[in-house]
Amino acid sequence: MAAKRISQSSVNWAALSERVPVAQKTNFMAFKSRSDKYLRAVLANPEQSPKIDWAAYKNKIPNAALVDSFQKAYESLKVPYPADTLSSEVDKLRSQVTQEIAAFKKESEERIAKNKAEVERIKGLLPYGQMTLEDFRDAHPDLALDPINRPTYWPHIPEIQPDYVDPNEKDEEHH
């Protein structure tokens, strides 16, 4: 099985260039330059090996049997092309990644819809400069002061309250 001849790079360099961070542009350009150089070197060679004119050699060399033995050895030479054992694994991985991408897209679309609904809810609120304390409590019940159900001490910040527990401190008393 012979390898198919490449005629051009299959890499979309423009799309790839858009995704490269600015700090890595010089490395990317060096890589692209090396890739292009390799492609030019491959394309500079003919697709097929040149044919050997065995008759011309038989006419020039006194021992024709030597040329026949070389011809026989040359024509019997078969360079083994490695068997493709990884394409099935790559296809499995591609389908797995495609499923993961589809799941991520679906989750992202759900998050986008949820966030758009939250944006619309916030747009529907009164501007904070026009809100009364009751309007603020209705819009943000978890943030508003509630002196009846959750009394607090002035200045009403969590760190000042008696039941405050610092989330950054390790709970060493219970160990």
What's the CA gap between 66 and 23, in Å, rounded?
A: 62
Q: What is the pLDDT of residue 20?
A: 92
Residue listed under structure tokens 């400069």 = 129
pTM score, two decimals? 0.43
pLDDT in tens, the chain (175 residues): 445 666 667 788 899 999 999 999 999 999 999 999 998 888 888 888 888 899 998 889 888 899 999 999 998 988 888 888 899 999 999 999 999 999 999 999 999 999 999 999 889 889 989 999 889 888 888 888 888 887 887 888 888 888 888 888 876 555 4
* Residue bearing tokens 């078969």: 78
User: Exposed (0-12), middle (13-18) or buried (19+): which is 37, by Cβ within 10 Å?
Assistant: exposed
Residue 1 pLDDT? 40
